[in-house]
Amino acid sequence: MVSVLPVVPGFHPDPSVCRVNDDYYLVCSSFEYFPGIPLFHSRDLLHWTQIGNVLDRPEQLRLPVDMTSSGGVYAPTLRHHDGRFWLIVTNCAEGAGNFIVTAADPTGPWSAPTWLPGIPGIDPDLAWDEDGTCWCTFAGVGQIPIDPYTGRVLGEQRGLWSGAPGARAPEAPHLYHIGDHWYLLIAEGGTERGHGISIARGPGPTGPFEPCPDNPILTHRGTDHPVQNTGHGDLVQAADGSWWLVFLGVRPHGGTPGWHVMGRETFLAPVTWTEDGWPTVGDIVSPADATAADAPFRDDFDLPELHPSWISVRDRSTEHCSTKERSGSLTLRARGSSLDEPDAVFIGRRQQHPACHASALVDAGQGVGGLAVRLDEQHHYGIETDGTQARVISRVGSVRAVVATLPVPAGPTVLGVRVSGPPAPHDPRTGPDVVSLGVERPDGAFSVLATLDGRYLSTEVAGGFTGRVIGPYAARGTVHVDWFGYEPLPG
């Protein structure tokens, strides 16, 4: 069977997309990670390259240390209007809320936030009508006209439409003026196996909205499709007039009930219109050839700025994470706490393939540090070294254990993490994958210290909205990482 693949693999949920001439831009949620909101560019909707992060300065994004994992930055909407890029989003952290940032050029700089204290809840959308009124629509589904330059609300809040009667979590609204109608696209059913997308339309941006007779227009609930939880999407029209939907989905593996480990990923499907003017969503289309995400990634940390795909937990200060301290190395300085703590000094990249190998050359002569697969503070596996001994640490829920140790020669050590398919795929209790942690010997062989069940680093076990992130960390003192590599493996 041909694989059904995401267009943006790894934890990249809640996609929002816009087109400017022949260029498409796409953004996703980023939760507790900094910088926030990865930004991608494409010419064909199938092949995306990350060109930056929208929220890359502390004045735009503060994620306090007491903020929970899977809090933070939820569900942006990206639009191009009046010669500018507009992005509206929620920072769910205490004391934050909804805000808008804008940019003339998508590669930035993006402005400081314009806060929207009058807009409640999550999943804000922006749409402008012909009179220039800007309508902010949000989960629930409600709507308020706003001045997007000042953040002032310009009218009363009104309820628009809540999707199917009794369906939970009507959210992720996007409003579009297409032909003679205003269409209101929403997600409903919750972001788990019941997820779906429905649509309604009305004569104007405020409705009244009449539901599509074929709702939900997208759902994989109750099917054996390899991509599940499909929902939360955004429509875009290509330059050739064709229509497309980007949306989130997950790839569960293993026995029952199935576990997904890479979070919610971004998929693409074509959209056609019925004679009555309702959209029909076609089958998922996958890139037929390798995409930028499939190329092996290697960072020698030779550049002063880090590649935009690197993300840190809650903040990134040069005091704790820098490529300028030792030339050609990433220097990580612990804050006196481990990966279990919310202020962990960890920097990683999303796991983007069901099977992969990551490694890093770690010099722990002045501290303790390693390489981890992180789901959140309570769910991660790591291999670390203090310069004399390598050890594998497993943290699952409230249980933390050193599961294996190995003496290592003095000096830098290559630490490795390999994710591969489950050992007994026919047992209904089989997990989604296994994670092997070890050290690379001087002859290049990977010497495994422990192989652990991958289900404990899945969303079905850990909860929340994110997926696995793999990268180096400092547990004590200062560690230098000479290089980091990640490559997809077959299978």
Give the distance between the most distant pair of CA atoms in the chain.
73
**Rounded Cα distance, 309 and 349, in Å:** 6
Selected binder of ligand 6LW within 7, 8, 9, 14 (CB under 6 A) = 14
Q: Which two tokens stand for residue 434?
A: 């296994």
Which residue lies nearer to ligand 6LW by CB, 351 or 420? 351
* 8 Å CB contact between 136 and 146: yes
Which residue lies nearer to ligand 6LW by CB, 92 or 339? 92
Of 56, 123, 171, 188, which is the active-site residue? 171
CA neighbor of 458 nearest in space, from 371, 375, 358, 399? 375
Nearest approach, Cβ of 90 to ligand 6LW (angstroms)?
7
Which residue lies nearer to ligand 6LW by CB, 89 or 293? 89
DSSP 8-state class, residue 264: S
Extended strands (E) in 386-462: 389-396, 399-407, 413-420, 434-440, 446-453
- When asked if residue 392 is in the footprint of ligand 6LW (CB under 6 A), the reply is no
Three-state secondary-structure class, residue 362: strand
* 8 Å CB contact between 195 and 221: yes
Which residue lies nearer to ligand 6LW by CB, 29 or 198? 29
Which residue lies nearer to ligand 6LW by CB, 197 or 450? 197
**Distance (Å) of CA 376 to CA 315, 335, 380:** 15, 17, 7
Nearest approach, Cβ of 74 to ligand 6LW (angstroms)?
4
- When asked if residue 123 is in the footprint of ligand 6LW (CB under 6 A), the reply is yes
Nearest approach, Cβ of 30 to ligand 6LW (angstroms)?
10
Distance of CA 202 to the CA centre of its chain: 32
Nearest approach, Cβ of 195 to ligand 6LW (angstroms)?
6
Q: Which two tokens stand for residue 439?
A: 């050290």
Nearest approach, Cβ of 202 to ligand 6LW (angstroms)?
22
Nearest approach, Cβ of 163 to ligand 6LW (angstroms)?
12
CA dihedral sign, ordered 224, 226, 228, 231:
negative
Selected binder of ligand 6LW within 8, 101, 122, 218 (CB under 6 A) = 122
Neighbours of 405 (CB within 10 A): 12
Is cis: bond before 308, omega within 30 of 0?
Answer: no
Interface with ligand 6LW in residues 223-282 (CB under 6 A): 231-232, 248
- When asked if residue 193 is in the footprint of ligand 6LW (CB under 6 A), the reply is no
Selected binder of ligand 6LW within 171, 188, 234, 299 (CB under 6 A) = 171
Interface with ligand 6LW in residues 57-76 (CB under 6 A): 74-75
Distant-in-sequence, close-in-space partners of 159: CB < 8 Å, separation ≥ 6: 140, 141, 142
Which residue lies nearer to ligand 6LW by CB, 35 or 438? 35
Q: Which two tokens stand for residue 469?
A: 């992130």
Q: What type of residue is 198? A: S
Selected binder of ligand 6LW within 78, 96, 187, 344 (CB under 6 A) = 187
Active site residue 14: yes
Residues making contact with ligand 6LW (CB under 6 A): 13-14, 29, 74-75, 122-123, 171-172, 187, 191, 231-232, 248, 465
Query: Which residues form the catalytic set?
Result: 14, 171
